[in-house]
Structure 1
Amino acid sequence: MTQRAPVRVADLPSFDTLVDARSPAEFALDHIPGAINCPVLDDEERRIVGTLYKQAGAFEARRVGGAMVAANLARHLREQFADRPAHWKPLVYCWRGGLRSGSMVTWLRLVGWDAQQLAGGYKSFRHHVLAQLEALCPRLRLLVICGATGSAKTRVLHALAARGEQVLDLENCALHKGSLLGALPGVAQPSQKAFETRIVTVLDAIDLSRTLYLEGESARIGRLSLPLPLVARMRAAPCVEIQATPAARLDYLLRDYAYLGDDREALATKLGLLKELQGKETVRRWQEWARAGDLPHLYAELMALHYDPHYERSQARHFLSWAQRREVQATDLSDAGVEAIADAVRAL
């Protein structure tokens, strides 16, 4: 076989398919966007081979593992790769660009496909993600959209995106709404690595000469941490504040967080985490409202006693240009109201 030059992360667009040869657990933790998972060893097989390597030595691990690899590659050829044309050009990677991806590339080349191996494997892609965060974040032309809880900031981002503006939806990247009650029902957050991959996927596609809109977030969204270069750039960026009336915010929260009433006991349990901040009596009252499904009273007090005081304390501390922020007044956070706010933000 002819010797090929090493394939780098920058070469990814020149291939028809990205094939991740790692185990399903490794793939779930993070992977190159668009890759398909075709494990050379599944999670249990990888554990068995690793144990053999420690207990019986490298030869025995290779002997047993080789049979597993052969069976898995044969299955992929029969199933996943069965309909690939003769001119198919896949790029295969594993953790470091070693034996797992190398064995798959060998088999695919024997078939006749122009299969190649990513130099450095997933680790090289991970280095790319971290390097892009460091390189791109200081160059971003950000406009940060702020506003107290219930100001429909995320919906405004969506409306801006629909108008052709560049948007970084961090809560969508994190699969979390960013507050104590922000976990999405039945949806797990991605890993920290996958969160950062999602962010870089957006940043790689933007025009650095144009404004990028994003929501003013704290340094954490759920259990995930925002990349430090992005936090630093966001804190220094100009801000626009949506100043919505309490009544409009409450109406919006009752629509946007209505699903919290579907599991009242779970809601009450989450509220219990606020006892140290708000006191036992206040939280007990909130838990009673949660169990009774009285979301209007609950959300109104959460706004007044918890979210709004925290918001007022944090903004000036977190955003360097807070005193110079521009403001958009809002009395209506319906779909039409959100569209109007998006137009007002664009006009700024």
Structure 2
Amino acid sequence: MQPAEFQLTALTGLAGAGFDAIIDARSPSEFAEDHLSGAINLPVLDDAQRAEVGTIYKQVSPFQARKIGGALAAANVARHVAGPLAGHGGGWRPLVYCWRGGQRSGAFATILAQIGWRTARLSGGWKSWRALVLDQVERRGPPAPVVVLDGNTGAAKTEILHLLAARGVQVVDLEGLANHRGSLFGARPGGQPAQKLFETRLAMALAGLDPARPVVVEAESSRIGGLALRLSVPVTARAAYTARAYADAVLEPGRVEATVARLAPLHPAERIEDWRTLAQRREWAALAEGLMRHHYDPRYEKHRARHGALERAVIGVERLDAAGLEDAAARVEAAVAGLHPQGL
């Protein structure tokens, strides 16, 4: 029995294809850089083995490289079959891919098919997937009308976006896809994904949108969206909210002080020293307010002066407690409905 060839023509094409598992046969570093959504990594060659085979190919001979690579691949596939794949019955249906649908996925898929599993190999491999991702992100873009949720730092845009999603509004959480809060202190546990993996996440989010309904995204770039709604929140409320929302960031010793130090080329020495003192005293709300007034807000206003023509409404929000956030989400939802009455 030989593995079938599976041709992927759309990012959402895997959803109805009926595969029980998607196996990425590439090395762990290739997998970490990007992979098909939902794939598991069962390498035919790990990173060290791949480097070793490549060196032999260049310095000794292609034949010797294939011989050694074949032995390594057979041993690795045998471990996968005896280990993570051992519990699957005869009706199991996997899809296997490697970088371009060549030797690694071919070897793995052939063994799985010979065992009796209904195995398919992705035609063109990861490269065919990457082409679809780039087509979605760079050429097609969002299939739905985009409404941008704008607002200065600390306006709780991301939390309001999540409340909108809970209300049934169509959203794309760019910060969630990037695993970063989009500010100097915005790093999250686990770190940001590689650029290619972020593009894959974004492409999948875009491909899954209902084109008949508007989608709300947080303002991250002037290139996103054609209409904007702006949250206007007092700086004291934003500072207090930020001190709560970034509680995890201040737990890491020295992180805040180091971040403030990076701002030294942009501000007077006295101001930087004041911010360092506030950080040392753990006066987080006061530090947040100072950063907003003198660093973030002036930059937002400069950007808004250039792109203000996109703004359709300003939504005043006085409080960012639970009740205030729910009220803000309801008003944003109503404003989106006013911009696209047929879509909600």
Which amino acid in 2 is paired with 1:48? E
Q: TM-score scaled to structure 2, two decimals?
A: 0.92
Task: Report what 1:224 is aligned to.
Answer: none
Structural mapping, 1:128-277, within 5 Å = 128-137=132-141, 139-184=143-188, 186-218=189-221, 232-234=223-225, 237-277=226-266
Residues 4 and 70 of structure 1: CA distance in aligned 2, closer, same or farther (over 3 Å): closer
Aligned 8 A contact 1:141 1:210 in 2: yes
* 2:30 counterpart of 1:26: yes
* Preserved contact between residue 152 and residue 297 of structure 2 (Cα < 8 Å): yes
Shift of 1:340: 0.7
Matches within 5 A, 1:321-336: 321-322=310-311, 325-336=312-323
Contact 1:7 1:116 in 2 (8 A): no
2:118 aligns to what SS in structure 1?
coil
Q: CA deviation at 1:258?
A: 2.0
Q: Relative to 1, partners in 2 of residues 1:262 and 1:2: Cα closer, same or farther, differing over 3 Å?
A: closer
SS at match of 1:196: helix
Structure having the higher helix fraction is: 1
Aligned in 2, Cα 1:332/1:56: closer, same or farther, shift over 3 Å? Answer: same
Tell me, yes or no, if the aligned pair for 1:265 and 1:290 is still in contact at 8 Å: no
Aligned residue identity for 1:271: V
Distance 1:319 1:208, change over 3 A: farther
Q: Does 1:312 align with 2:316?
A: no
CA–CA distance in structure 2, aligned partners of residues 5 and 115 of structure 1:
9
1:58-97 map, 5 Å: 58-97=62-101
CA RMSD of aligned residues (A): 1.6
| Match among 20, 41, 44 for residue 40 of structure 1 | 44
How far residue 60 of structure 1 moved from its aligned partner, in angstroms, is 1.0
Shift of 1:279: 2.2
How far did residue 138 of structure 1 move?
5.7
On the 8 A contact 1:267/1:290 being kept in 2, the answer is yes
Structure 1 consecutive aligned stretches of length 4 or more whose deviation exceeds 6 Å: none
- Superposition deviation, residue 132 in structure 1: 1.2
SS at match of 2:254: helix
Cα distance between partner residues in 2 of 1:319 and 1:199: 26
Paired residue secondary structure (1:326): strand
CA displacement at 1:297 relative to structure 2: 2.0
How far is the alpha carbon of 1:319 from its aligned partner?
Answer: 5.3
1:294 equivalenced with 2:283 (yes/no): yes
Tell me the CA shift for residue 276 of structure 1: 1.5
User: What is the aligned residue count?
Assistant: 331
Distance 1:87 1:132 in 2: 34
Secondary structure at the counterpart of residue 199 of structure 2: helix
Q: Which amino acid counterpart does residue 316 of structure 2 have in structure 1?
A: Q
Say if 1:5 and 1:51 are closer, same or farther in 2 by CA, change over 3 A.
Answer: closer
TM-superposition CA deviations, 1:65-118 (whole Å, max 9, x none): 111101111111111111112111111000011000000011011101121111
By how many angstroms is 1:21 displaced? 0.3
Q: Give the direction of change, closer, same or farther, for the CA distance of 1:61–1:253 in structure 2 (3 Å limit).
A: same
What do the CA deviations read for 1:228-275 (whole angstroms, capped 9, x no partner)? Answer: xxx6342xx111111111221122111111223213422111111111
- In structure 2, the CA distance between the partners of 1:200 and 1:251, relative to structure 1 (3 Å rule), is same
TM-score, normalization: structure 1?
0.91
Counterpart of 1:88 in 2: which secondary structure? Answer: coil
SS in 2 for 1:232: coil
Residues 291-325 of structure 1: per-residue CA shift (max 9 Å, x gap): 22121221111111111111111123245413xx2
Distance change >3 Å, CA 36–CA 5, structure 1 → 2: closer
